[in-house]
Structure 1
């Protein structure tokens, strides 16, 4: 072997020794706050961007103590006494007992909504002897007293009854992963989130019932049907208001991404009940036993807006398989990135795979030249 070849081999070995800087692909190597089983001490102080947390029983207990998802206070404000207020488009059914001539009969060919008194766009109705009455913004009790007071000039001790035959002035909109998306009226019976979803036929199999978006007054609020059904949290069953838009999210819109040293790197849609770290790893074929660093299983998550740092990194040390019980209790959030870093030996092998072909080619070429010279 010539001196040139020996020099190339030495340079190659030195390159391998510094392989961490040229290793192909990505990996996480000693991030700020790395929890190492070997030394038990954080490598360095947390940076301004990344905050690292160990997935342990302590963090799981902290998650359990957080309690149910609570809507913002403005959604919890409700009137002391709910009473429907009439508006333009509604149809009123007005009855004056013992005076059938003043009541428009519905008959067999017309329903009460067709035969009733329609509230005009200016909020008024017309009634015999009474004339034009402004009823918009009033409840049926107030309308009944108003008509009885005015018609008393013509009828002694009138017995008046008022009911809403058709609710048309106030509506809510239900969209997304429900069986019958559409527009639904608000009636004299209080309509809550569960009522609105039930009116739309309930959620479909593709629904993410943990994420229901309520749009009100130009703002979006996140509610959870799961909190209502499974945890009995009535706070999420908010009272609907006219103009509310309810969108039940779909599972395929919320995914987690599993990357790194797993059998199948892929994106996974979150199921109706969410997804745990163990489920994400299992659905991706598990860790690549030949290349994965079992102590470096990470969940990378964008920090909450009110946090000073930008990224939360949760680390699971799975060298002991019993730690996977922690993974089964660690719940993922939409757009989480699960990353399994490579073991040091696997990174060395990648560097060798880059260097050795070049060295081999040079060696074979030099050997061929030597054979020609010997001839």
Structure 2
């Protein structure tokens, strides 16, 4: 799975053989970046390859056959949190597409006293806070795989 760029990430963007076209760029809270000649570009939610392709499209108007390299210098956007009755509660970096089971595994699994059928995923959105239920036993048995959602940056998994 490829890393998805998000707000707060710092990117290195360079255009081969173009002086002055190498910059470190901060991804703004709205997911946008600004780059010379390309202007405003939505970077949030894209891979480095997809962002590079977008920049090539925009720069073609000004530079013949541009070759663009994008890399992530610092990642801060893909943090998720696992709290409660897990062996290693804390903040984790979600690489690529991380689901709830993977996050619980990173947190060392459930403690013996965890209420495995009452796990909650809390997600903040532009319209408010949403909560989804996760029943560990039903997911592991294969009965409710639909509950094993992909986590997004900022999600909190609460294990009571």
- Scaled by the length of structure 2, the TM-score of the pair is 0.68
2:113 maps to what in 1? 206
Report if the CA contact (8 A) 2:120-2:158 is conserved: yes
Structure 1 residue aligned with 2:70: 162
Indicate the residue corresponding to 1:134 in structure 2.
Answer: 41
In the TM superposition, 1:331-370 aligns within 5 A as: none
Distance in 1, Cα, partners of 2:16 & 2:158: 46
Give the 3-state SS of the residue equivalent to 1:201 in structure 2. Answer: coil
Structure 2 distance, partners of 1:126, 1:192, is 31
Distance 1:215 1:130, change over 3 A: same
Q: Report 1 or 2 for greater relative contact order, CA contacts < 8 Å, sequence distance ≥ 6.
A: 2
Partner Cα separation in structure 2 for residue 153 and residue 219 of structure 1: 43
Distance 1:199 1:91 in 2: 25
**Structure 1 unaligned regions, length at least 5:** 1-81, 105-115, 250-375
Q: Is the 8 A contact 1:124 1:132 kept in 2?
A: no
**Equivalent position of 1:304 in the other structure:** none
Q: Report what 1:96 is aligned to.
A: 15
In the superposition, the TM-score normalised over structure 1's length comes to 0.34
Shift of 1:136: 4.7
Larger Rg belongs to: 1
Alpha-carbon distance in 1 for matches of 2:110, 2:19: 46
Contact 1:88 1:123 in 2 (8 A): yes
Q: Secondary structure at the match of 2:122?
A: strand
* 1:153-302 pair list within 5 angstroms: 155-187=63-95, 189-216=96-123, 218-229=129-140, 231-233=141-143, 234-249=145-160
Unaligned runs of 5+ in 2: none
The two structures, once aligned, show a CA RMSD in angstroms of: 3.5
The structure with more strand, counted as a fraction of residues: 2
Q: Distance in 1 between matches of 2:115 and 2:82?
A: 15
Summarize deviations over 1:287-307 as a string: whole Å, max 9, x none.
xxxxxxxxxxxxxxxxxxxxx
What is the deviation of 1:176?
0.3
Aligned residues: 154
Contact 1:167 1:186 in 2 (8 A): no
Question: C-alpha distance in 2, partners of 1:171/1:247?
Answer: 15
